[in-house]
Amino acid sequence: MISLFLIVLVFLGVTIDRMFTNFHYSEMRNNYYEMTAHFVTMASSKELAAEQSLDAFADFSEVSMFFISSQGEVTAHSGSHDPTDHSFIREKDVEQIFSGQSVSFTHTDPDGNRYLVTGMAIPREDSKGVSDSALYVLASTQHADESIASIRRLLILSGFGAFLLALGFVWIAAQVLSRPLLQMQRATRKIAAGNLQTRLPIRSNDEIGSLAGAINDLAKDLQRYQDTRQEFFANISHELRTPITYLEGYAKVVKEKLYTSEEEKDKYLDIIQEEAVRLQRLVNDLFELAKMEEGKISLTLEWIDLTEIVRSAVRKMEWRVKEKGLKLLANYDSNAPLIQGDGLRMEQIIINMLDNAVRYTESGKITITLRSDHKQVKVTIEDTGIGIPEEEIPYLFERFYRVEKSRSRQHGGTGLGLAIAKKLIDLQGGEIRVSSTVGVGTRFDICFPVRESMGEDHDEKD
Ligand code: ADP
């Protein structure tokens, strides 16, 4: 900015100086031309009074006069200029003057003084315009040079003032613009180096302020990501350690024959089998979740009939419901429109929800309902189980989240089921909602949108 300003300032200064100097000299040239023309008229007159007043005028106007012959020799002189200095008389000028044209130029004498020289031929009244003498008028440029120099000083001074002003302006601009940007650069470097607590102060409501806000949000997100990753790994190792401890302990008991009866041995072997199944489930769930997080899961999206899928899931779960002495009621909407989704994944979601309902319900019934309108297809799974405390509901879909850790384990849960279900529902454009009352029951609503073209497809199917 300063360089740009300096270039503009110098360019402007030189232009003003040139304009002013040229104007001054052209004014001076015009004035002395008129004066010389006036002197020439007086000189061409035969009257004595005119000749006398010519000297007086020249003296008064502070100019020197040199009369020359057509050969270029000085015939008369008046004024303060050194009479022996004839350096300003040039042959080609003399020719030009006697051919009827005047000359005007600046001349520097041997002492270094500058003069404006105007030369003009003196016409003779009796010789029909042919002249045999000419007049040179020498006017010192000292006054003009002095006034130009003072203007130049003024220009330099004001240029310097403007430069200082620009310097101040640039400094303020640097404070307002560059400093926050440099601060942001430092902060982002710190964040990149892992210092995720770094935050930037938001001082303004403009673009700079919103950029600082965005950097803060980025740091917060990274922090949250790091925390959840750490928590995730801590959870995994914890989840793996528990079944492995059981496996190791009971296998040792069986191996070292620390049981008293065959029944006791079978009980220990059952535990070993249960724990192995749980471990397998956990590993499968983790693998599934990891694939989803990396975006590597591939869904086969096609037009599916959710009623059929719910029917199939209910069939698969019936034995488990009966086994636990519960009732399973299913209400279908046979006119439900087709939706776009992955059939197998959809069944996995419904089975998972029914499985949870069975697991967390000790007595009563489980109801599954499918309703639809022109906008959406909704599957509701309701149970009369233990329920979920209200304050726990927001965290229900987080990985490894369990309402009651020991009870979930006792029910064989991994804490990943709902997290997986929610991700799968999201991937298929659906939504899951939960409402629950402790001791009364829990209700999950899963909704999928119906798109325009689906209705047409359904008609075709019918
Ligand atoms: P888990 O494998 O432990 O069941 P989920 O992710 O499926 O894990 O569920 C998370 C937690 O939500 C469970 O530990 C349980 O406490 C609670 N939960 C889920 N479904 C129900 C339900 N139908 N009734 C009561 N609690 C439930």
Q: How far is the CA of 49 from the centre of ligand 1 (A)?
A: 130
Best CA proximity match to 379, nearest among 437, 314, 423? 314
Residue of 381, 408, 445 to mutate, ligand 1, most atoms within 8 A of C-beta: 408
Q: What is the pLDDT of residues 391-400, one digit of tens each?
A: 989 889 988 8
Instruction: State the alpha helices, DSSP H only, in 324-440.
Output: 343-359, 405-410, 417-427
Residues with CB under 6 A from ligand 1: 356-357, 360, 383, 385-388, 396, 401-404, 408, 413-419, 442
Q: What pLDDT, on the 0 to 100 scale, is given for residue 455?
A: 46
Query: Residues 6 or more apart from 72 whose CB is under 8 A from it?
Result: 89, 91, 94
The model's confidence at residue 408, banded by pLDDT at 50, 70 and 90, is low
Name the token pair of 174.
């640097």
Q: What pLDDT, on the 0 to 100 scale, is given for residue 128?
A: 63
Report the alpha-carbon distance of residue 40 to residue 91 in Å, rounded. Answer: 20
**Reading across the β-sheet that carries 431-437, which strands appear in turn?**
327-331, 365-372, 376-383, 441-449, 431-437
Best CA proximity match to 4, nearest among 136, 119, 146, 169? 169
What are phi and psi for residue 355, nearest 5 degrees?
-60, -45
Best CA proximity match to 359, nearest among 278, 435, 413? 413
The model's confidence at residue 376, banded by pLDDT at 50, 70 and 90, is very high
Best CA proximity match to 288, nearest among 198, 215, 352? 352
Q: Name the pairing type of β-strands 74-78 and 63-69.
A: antiparallel
Q: What pLDDT, on the 0 to 100 scale, is given for residue 405?
A: 63
Q: Which is more confidently placed, 448 or 228? A: 448
Residues 293-306, mean pLDDT to the nearest whole number = 86
The model's confidence at residue 57, banded by pLDDT at 50, 70 and 90, is confident
Top mean-pLDDT range of 50-59, 210-219, 231-240, 408-417: 210-219
Q: Which is more confidently placed, 456 or 444? A: 444
Q: Give the helix, strand, coil percentages of the chain, each rounded to 5.
A: 55, 15, 25
Strand partners, 76: 67
pLDDT above 90 for 179:
no
Q: Which amino acid is at 56?
A: A
Report the alpha-carbon distance of residue 421 to residue 396 in Å, rounded. Answer: 11
Q: How far is the CA of 241 from the centre of ligand 1 (A)?
A: 21
412 CA closest ligand 1 atom index:
2
Mean pLDDT check: name the lowest of 107-111, 402-406, 422-426: 402-406
Q: What is the pLDDT of residues 11-27, one digit of tens each?
A: 999 999 999 999 988 99
Q: What is the pLDDT of residues 335-366, one digit of tens each?
A: 889 999 999 999 999 999 999 999 999 999 99
Q: How far is the CA of 403 from the centre of ligand 1 (A)?
A: 7
Q: What pLDDT, on the 0 to 100 scale, is given for residue 459?
A: 41
